[in-house]
Amino acid sequence: MDAPVGENPVAQSIAQAMIEGFNKHYRIFRETSRRAKESFEAADWQAQIDAVRERVQFYDERVDEAVRRLHEEFDADSLDDSTWQQLKLQYIGILMRHKQPELAETFFNSVCCKILHRTYFNNDYLFARPAVSTEYIESYPPVYSSYYPQDEGLRTTARRIIEDFDWQRPFADLDRDIDNILRAVHEHLGEWPDMEVNCQIQVLYSAFYRNKTAYIIGKAINGYQEYPFALAVRHNPAGRLEADTILLDPWRISVLFSLSRAYFLVDMEVPSGYVHFLRSIMPNKHRSELYTMLGLGKQGKTMFFRDLIAHLRHSNDQFIVAPGIRGLVMLVFTLPSYPYVFKIIKDVFGASKNMDRATVKRKYLMVKQVDRVGRLADTLEFSYAALPLSRFHPELLDELRALAPSSFEIEGDSVIIKHLYIERRMTPLNIYLERANDDQVEYAVREYGNAIRELATANIFPGDMLWKNFGVTRYGRVVFYDYDEIEYMTAMNFRRIPPAPYPEMEMAAEPWYSAGPMDVFPEEFATFLLGAPRVRKAFLKHHRDLLDAKFWQDVQASIRKGYLEDFFPYPTELRFCNMWSKKRGRADQAA
Ligand SMILES: Nc1ncnc2c1ncn2[C@@H]1O[C@H](COP(=O)(O)OP(=O)(O)OP(=O)(O)O)[C@@H](O)[C@H]1O
């Protein structure tokens, strides 16, 4: 379909400027993702981490640029209603042939929202819902390639799939890797099914890069059955490539896409095609989460919010204060029927919190930029989010008025929240521990310590390690979610408590040693963490070393040497090197 013929040349020019802004954004985004292959080949892990961090800023930079251009070239504040309406139509016309129309619509919204007054935030001017379909968009290179094992046999097909990624670094022993892959698949299936006429293996064109791993993601189709897989490829200690594992359970693949990990770098011409394919593997993963994990966070947010609004239309429970200990910095509420919490920065913080609003925001942004190693919950940040007033419990409205009056306004039947973080709801660890039996306490305390260790090795010091600041996910993982005191490990000064000059000083209310703002005394952790006997016992059994400054100093030293720890988003027992280390045999010859 051709673009609608515009009678308004200004609208036409603005639409053109707008799409140029978006195209520039996507070009830079894609170049960054494309470089991930080279960084992987060069074992330049720092470049992978930097790319993820830098990419977070791209979107806002391009939106600001487009807003400036609209002001300078088109005097954007003075546009009349008909131009705005025409503009949207003109833009839709351009998008009919675009490869990323859903992203470009979101970009349009972001630019317009910075110019228009909120009363104009409706479907006449903005894309309140998608106007251009993302179905059947052609892509070059295609979103996925198909391989036909009945022509050449599974072994040759598997080899070709891997070789087609054309990594400029040799495999240590590709035959052995293919043995391992086929053996794992055979064990998973129990027996090799007969190949049906439609037997094929579809493989997403770009690998998914994150930290030190490249994932080949695809699915085999045979008759009516589909078998998804994610093959992890890594460097071995000698710097050769090696298949590390193949994940075959859809839920394990979906754990790779958990929001508590870093976003992937993937070179996509048509991202909606990737999302569509991934959803066929993980139907329970929401599209918004997939967009987010592909580094397209703004699209993830847009889709998340549309879903929330749809959910509100189809439910009738109320927003209530989140269960647990109230925050000193954040006012946290939730909607019981929806698995997320909503966090608003309070106007005045509790007395012990010596920081301002900008610092809190900076800390939350930092979490989006680092490797979250499966231990930091991802947050979606919204400005001016409108939620229905009738769904707010009176007690929550009272808290909002008392604690965050400057952060919201009531306009008609909406509560407009000026700034909001949204994240997955978990069971706060303090609540979990209160209800847990002894085994569960031991498990959770062990997980908690592991979370702290892993964060430390990833150069993150949580700051406030109280139990209430961690949550337990539906998969039983312990994840940190209170970021206002988070710091880089390397910024901290871990110290041992100096001996008291006189023994009686140890009993005094005030400490005999002074502490700078970045000083941490790990021996003190025991005082505020280990009051409950069951918790204390489990902690000392598994994590006693966390109470000693030496653990922390050693981790710092290793980070400073540039060592990047390996974090596996799958159990290490599933690594081929551990699976059959004792008796590594040939894969079933039937393959
Ligand atoms: N993702 C979550 N899932 C479930 N409950 C949560 C979540 N995030 C926060 N909460 C609840 O809200 C409370 C306050 O949240 P949070 O710790 O983020 O606020 P804070 O003001 O930064 O806290 P602090 O006073 O420790 O700095 C938590 O103790 C917990 O009960």
Is there a contact between 374 and 569 (Cβ–Cβ < 8 Å)?
Answer: yes
Whether 484 lines ligand 1, by a CB cut-off of 6 Å, is yes
Mean pLDDT by 10 residues, the chain (591 residues): 61 96 97 96 93 89 96 92 92 96 96 82 81 91 96 95 98 97 96 95 97 97 97 97 97 91 95 98 93 95 94 97 94 97 95 89 89 89 93 98 96 95 96 96 97 94 94 92 94 93 77 89 92 95 97 95 86 91 42 33
Q: pLDDT value at position 117?
A: 76
CA angle 390, 364, 386 (to 5 degrees): 20
Q: What is the Å distance from ligand 1's center to 256 Cα?
A: 25
* Neighbour-count burial of 549, counting CB atoms closer than 10 A to its CB (0-12 exposed, 13-18 middle, 19+ buried): middle
**Atom number of ligand 1 nearest to Cα 484:** 22
Report the residue among 348, 482, 485, 528 best suited for mutation to probe ligand 1: largest number of ligand atoms under 8 A from its CB. 482
Q: What is the Å distance from ligand 1's center to 315 Cα?
A: 25
* Cβ atoms < 10 Å from Cβ of 516: 8
List the beta bridge partners of residue 229: 218
Reported ipTM:
0.95
Write out the two tokens for 138: 């052609």
From CA 512, how far away is CA 78, in angstroms rounded? 65
HEC readout, 296-319 = CHHHHHHHHHHHHHHHHHCCCCCE
**Atom number of ligand 1 nearest to Cα 329:** 21
Q: pLDDT value at position 581?
A: 57
Residue nearest to atom 20 of ligand 1 (CA): 327
Determine whether the annotation assigns residue 327 to a binding site: yes
Determine whether the annotation assigns residue 141 to a binding site: no
**Atom number of ligand 1 nearest to Cα 323:** 31
Distances (CA, A) of 263 to 258, 291, 293, 367, 374: 9, 10, 5, 12, 11
Is there a contact between 468 and 564 (Cβ–Cβ < 8 Å)?
Answer: no
CA angle 268, 272, 273 (to 5 degrees): 70
Whether 322 lines ligand 1, by a CB cut-off of 6 Å, is yes
List the beta bridge partners of residue 234: 242
Whether 428 lines ligand 1, by a CB cut-off of 6 Å, is yes
Q: What share of the chain is helix, strand, coil (3-state, %, to 5)?
A: 45, 15, 35
534, amino acid identity = R
Interval 437-483: pLDDT, tens: 999 999 999 999 999 999 999 899 999 999 999 999 988 899 999 99
Distances (CA, A) of 414 to 410, 417, 457, 529: 6, 9, 44, 41
Q: pLDDT value at position 344?
A: 97
Interval 209-256: pLDDT, tens: 999 999 999 999 999 999 999 999 999 999 999 999 999 999 999 999
Cβ-based neighbours of 307, under 8 Å, separated by 6 or more = 286, 288
- For β-strands 487-488 and 478-480, DSSP reports them as unpaired
Measured torsion, CA atoms of residues 117, 121, 122, 127, in degrees rounded to the nearest 10? 130
**Atom number of ligand 1 nearest to Cα 330:** 21
Measured torsion, CA atoms of residues 506, 512, 516, 521, in degrees rounded to the nearest 10? -20
Q: What is the Å distance from ligand 1's center to 323 Cα?
A: 9
Q: What is the Å distance from ligand 1's center to 482 Cα?
A: 6
Determine whether the annotation assigns residue 324 to a binding site: yes
